[in-house]
Structure 1
Amino acid sequence: MQRLRNKATLITGGTSGIGLATARRFLEEGARVAITGTNKGRLEEARKTLGDNVLIIDADAGSVAAQDDIARQLGAAFGKLDAVFVNAGIVDLRPLADWSEAAFDRSVAIDLKGPYFLVKALVPLLSNPASIILSGSVNAHMGMAGTHVYSLAKAGMISLARTLSGELIGRGIRANVISPGPIDTPLNDKLGLGPAETKARAKAVVGMVPAGRFGTAEEIANAVVFLASDECRFMVGSEMLIDGGMSIM
């Protein structure tokens, strides 16, 4: 059964990791798919991986103007939108003393401000019914050192799922948030750590997960398919934590 058959969908940050895995699953489920990204090399690789029928949009997740352009391109290509997975983001981890205003603004722009204005731009395109899936994080529920700005942005996304639902449910638009725990994706390679530090960090993180391992991008993608489908039309303003039990420790 193709649960997303003929649904027009958007996945931001769809060129690698969770976003790319979700794009693959959406296609398998019969969806029409658009993805966004900023790295031209990865955009081209995604095109080769996903095929020419996928709409590829070069867009900066932290730019308000870019969000309006995404909506324009989607309107021209699809005419409507049935599901959107707001997945693009960055993870900038550093001690409190090392944060500058510029670094703070960059993280908040990509992880919270850009997503907010993307949803605003997309609302006129959204069908009745439609599904908005926001990307949260287990970090929003924990007090891990160095995650200050990332965690506050993700907490904002969790709150946004509720307030969007409160405002838009009358139009048949439901918003939910998916909050992964530690997932084995290329994002882990962008933390600026050396090989030994990366190995030590991975061991420490796994030690906090009762399931005893990192999750996979495919496991998150399967959950996003459910949230995008008509199977969960009674799920509104909710959070799905997929963290191997990390949040219960």
Structure 2
Amino acid sequence: MGQLDGKTALVTGATAGIGLATARRLAAEGATVFVTGRRKDVLDAAVAQIGPNAVGVQADVADLDALDRVFDAVRERGQGLDVLFANAGGGEFAALEDITWEHYATTFNTNVGGTIFTVQKALPLLNRGASVIVTSSNIDVKGSPSFSVYAATKAALRSFTRSWAAELVGRGIRVNAIAPGPIGTPGLRGLAADEAGADALLDGLASGVPMARLGEPDEIADAVLFLAGKGSSFVTGSEIYVDGGASQI
């Protein structure tokens, strides 16, 4: 018996890293997992990795029409939605003097707008007792040179988590945030211009973690599973930091 047998979940941004690891974990626990990604070939490969409990829907969360297609697919299954992991997002380095309108708009439209409208469009499908989990970041309580726009989006998501938890508590729906620290994902390596730069970036980030290493995507998946399941039934409006102590000690 899995922890999520008979449940339906949606994981956005599930083709790599944290999203893929979490989708695999939720599926392994018995959930039917709808997963999204922007590129069909990469999405198909992720669905194959996740297994027979996965349903792929090609979508960019910053595209409202694409989000409608995602929730149409969930609606057609007829079981509602028990777990929503609003995970899709990203960012790039830009020092204050180099921030452009495009950089600002793209980052906010994806990380903030995409999350807002993912949760909003899920509302009619969320079953009583459903769990909504938002991917924030431990950077939401820290200053980070050249990453200020990304950090601001994550601080916004932390605030939305509290407000949505207050709005939805009457429906028995819990809303929480997960705040990863530096996690060894393709997206993190992709922040650097080349492989040598990526190695230096990851080494530098690991050195700032009290546990002296990067986290693994599966470690975030474990925390998401906790928030998705009965073990967190009295937890809402909270943020769980999974960052090796980087924001706490």
**TM-score, normalization: structure 1?**
0.96
User: Greater shift after overlay, 44-53 or 220-229?
Assistant: 44-53
Q: State the Cα distance separating 1:72 from its structure 2 match.
A: 1.5
Structure-to-structure mapping, 1:54-73, within 5 angstroms = 54-73=54-73
**In 1, are the aligned partners of 2:192 and 2:201 still within 8 Å (CA)?**
no
Structure-to-structure mapping, 1:139-218, within 5 angstroms = 139-218=139-218
Deviating 4+ runs (over 6 angstroms): none
Alpha-carbon spacing, 1:99–1:76, altered in 2? closer, same or farther (3 Å): same
State the distance in 1 between where 2:140 and 2:46 align: 30
| Matching residue's letter, 1:39 | R
Q: State the Cα distance separating 1:78 from its structure 2 match.
A: 4.0
| Matching residue's letter, 2:240 | M
RMSD over aligned CA atoms reads 1.2
**In 1, are the aligned partners of 2:27 and 2:53 still within 8 Å (CA)?**
no
1:132-164 deviation digits (Å, cap 9, x = unpaired) = 000000111111101111111111111111100
Structure-to-structure mapping, 1:1-249, within 5 angstroms = 1-249=1-249
For structure 1, the 5+ residue unaligned runs are none
State the distance in 2 between where 1:87 and 1:38 align: 13
State the distance in 2 between where 1:152 and 1:83 align: 26
| Matching residue's letter, 1:168 | L
| Matching residue's letter, 1:167 | E
| Matching residue's letter, 2:124 | P
State the distance in 2 between where 1:8 and 1:168 align: 19
Alignment partner of 2:73: what SS? helix
State the distance in 2 between where 1:237 and 1:16 align: 27
For structure 2, the 5+ residue unaligned runs are none
Q: State the Cα distance separating 1:52 from its structure 2 match.
A: 4.1
Alpha-carbon spacing, 1:13–1:98, altered in 2? closer, same or farther (3 Å): same
Aligned residues: 249
| Matching residue's letter, 1:74 | V
State the distance in 2 between where 1:124 and 1:4 align: 21
Percent of residue pairs identical: 38
Alignment partner of 1:131: what SS? strand
